[in-house]
Amino acid sequence: MTDPHPKKSRHRPGRRIAGVVRNLPVLRTVIGRMPLRSRPALFFETLSNVGTGAYITLFSISLVVLETVLDGEPWHLVLMSMMFLGSSLFSPLVTYAGRSIPMRYLVTVPNLLVAVMLLVVATTWHDPFVFALLVGSSFVIRVFPRVAEMNMFRVLYPATHRGMAVGWTKSVSALSGFGVALISWRLASFPGWYPGLYTLVAAMLFSSVFFYSRIPMPRGCFFFRDDDLSPVHAFRQGVKVILRDRRFMLYQLGFAIAGIANHMSLPLIPIVVNGIEPDRGTNFLIVTVVPVALTIATSPLWGRYLDKRDPMFGRGIFNALQAVAYGFYTLGGVTGQLWPFVVGTVLHAASAGGSVINWLTGSMYFARTEHVSLYNAVHVAFTGVRGLIGPAVGLWLFVNQETIGQWQITGWNLGPRVFVVSAVLSVIGLAIMMAMHATDTGPREQSD
C-alpha cells in the first residue's frame, strides 16, 4: 500500500477546479465536507466516475441484450456472468503488479483497453457467443482498476470521511449509469441502435481515463514492496497473515454464503421475466433502470450510515433485504406475475447502494496499514471464486436440459424455485454477520 501521508503532489488543481465547484452547489457542498488535502482527489474522481458508472451498467444491460435482442441461450448469460463475477480471481495479480507500476496506471491503462474492446463489440454484433465473450473479457480487464481504486481509497480519504467519499462517488457513478440505462430502455423498440450505445459508453470511458489521470497522488504511488521476496514467498507470507486472522476469515465466510446467492440468481432474473412478459422494455425496467435509480437514491445515505457502523452489521442488513427480495422473486416466478419482481427489485436495489460500499471498504476494518492491499486482494479473490462458481451452479439448478456445443447438461429443473435457495443462503449469511457484530472488538486501524 502507499504511504498514507502523501507528499506534496506534482499536480496542482488550479483555479478552474474552484470555478467548477462554485457553479455546482451539490458538488461544492460535498467537497466542502472533506479535509482540504482530499478535495482535489474527490473532484477528479467524481468526474472519472461518470464514465466508469456508464460502463458498470453494461453488465445488466448486456444480460437483457443477450436474452431479448440476440436471442442468446441461458448458458450465454451464465458465461458472461462468470467472466464478470469471476474476474475478481485475478485480483492478486493487481497487488503484485502494483509493486512496480504506479497505481494511476493500474486504473487508467486497463480502462483504456476496455474502451477499445467496446468499440470492437459495436462492430461485431449479432453473434451471442462472440458478444458474451467480448463483453465478458472486458469485465476481466476491469479487475485491475477495481482493485487499484479500492487501495486508493485509504490513500486519498481519511477513515472519518471515507464512507462519505465512496458513497458520493458511487452515487455519481450510478447516476451516469442511470442515464445509460434509460437510453437502453428507450431503445427497446429500436434494437439496431444498441451498437451505438456501446460506442457511447466507450467514449465515456475515454473521458474517465483523462480525469482519473488528473488526480493528485503521492510521488511513486506504489504498493509497499520487498525486493528480496519472490512472488511465491510473498504469496506464502500473505496466506499466513490471512489464516491467522480468524475474525477476517469468518467475515469472508459470511460474505461468501450470501454473495453466492446473488451470483447464482442474477443472470436468471431476465430469463424468468422474459418468460412471464416477453417485452424488452419491461425487462430493462426491472433488471436495469429501477435498480440503478434506487442505487442513486440510497448510496449517499448508506455511506453516512456505514461510517457509524461496523461492516458486519451493515452486511447483515443487506443480507436481510436480499433474502426478502428473493422470496418475492420466487413468488413471481412460480405464479407467473410481474409485480413480485418489481417489489423484489426495489428491495434488492435499495440494499445494493450500501452493499457496494460495504464490499469496497469492509475489509479495511480488519487490516493493519501494511496489510490493506493484501486483505483487499484476498477479499476480491474470494469474490471471484464464488463469482466463477455461482452462475454455473445456478444454471445447473435452474435448467432441465441445456446444450452447450456438443455437451448436454442435465440439471435439477428448479426453474424460478432456485430463488428459494438464494433466500436461504442470504439468511445464513445474515446470522453469521449478526453473531460477529455481537462480539465485535472494533476496527484494527484504531487498535494498532
- Domains for the chain: give ranges and CATH numbers: 38-447 (1.20.1250.20)
One-letter amino acid of 145: P
- The pLDDT score that the predictor gives to residue 24 is 64
Find, among 205, 186, 274, 161, the residue nearest to 49 by Cα.
205
- The pLDDT score that the predictor gives to residue 15 is 55
Among 147-156, 251-260, 261-270, whose mean pLDDT is lowest? 147-156
- The pLDDT score that the predictor gives to residue 29 is 78
Per residue in 57-110, pLDDT (tens digit) is: 899 999 999 999 999 999 999 999 999 999 888 877 776 777 778 878 889 999
Higher pLDDT, 426 or 90: 426
Find, among 251, 196, 241, the residue nearest to 429 by Cα.
251
Q: Are strands 401-404 and 407-410 parallel, antiparallel or unpaired?
A: antiparallel
* Dihedral Cα 259, 265, 270, 274, nearest 10 deg: -160
What angle do the packed helices 339-361 and 159-186 form, to 10 degrees? 140
Q: How confident is the model at residue 18 (pLDDT cuts 50, 70, 90)?
A: low
- Residue 17 and residue 78: Cα distance in Å, rounded? 43
**Residue 4 pLDDT > 70, yes or no?**
no
**Residue 373 pLDDT > 80, yes or no?**
no
- The pLDDT score that the predictor gives to residue 233 is 63
Per residue in 278-304, pLDDT (tens digit) is: 999 999 999 999 988 887 788 778 888
- Residue 3 and residue 182: Cα distance in Å, rounded? 41
| Ranges 25-34, 135-144, 238-247, most confident | 135-144
Sign of the CA dihedral running 440, 442, 445, 448: negative
Residue with cell 459470511: 254
**Residue 12 pLDDT > 80, yes or no?**
no
Mean pLDDT on 134-151: 86
Nine cell digits for residue 84: 464478470
- Residue 270 and residue 334: Cα distance in Å, rounded? 15
CB neighbour list of residue 103: distance below 8 Å, 6 or more residues apart: 2, 148, 151, 152, 217, 221, 222, 223
Per residue in 315-329, pLDDT (tens digit) is: 999 999 999 999 999
- The pLDDT score that the predictor gives to residue 30 is 77
Q: What pTM does this model have?
A: 0.82
Q: How confident is the model at residue 6 (pLDDT cuts 50, 70, 90)?
A: very low
Q: Are 123 and 73 in contact (CB under 8 A)?
A: no
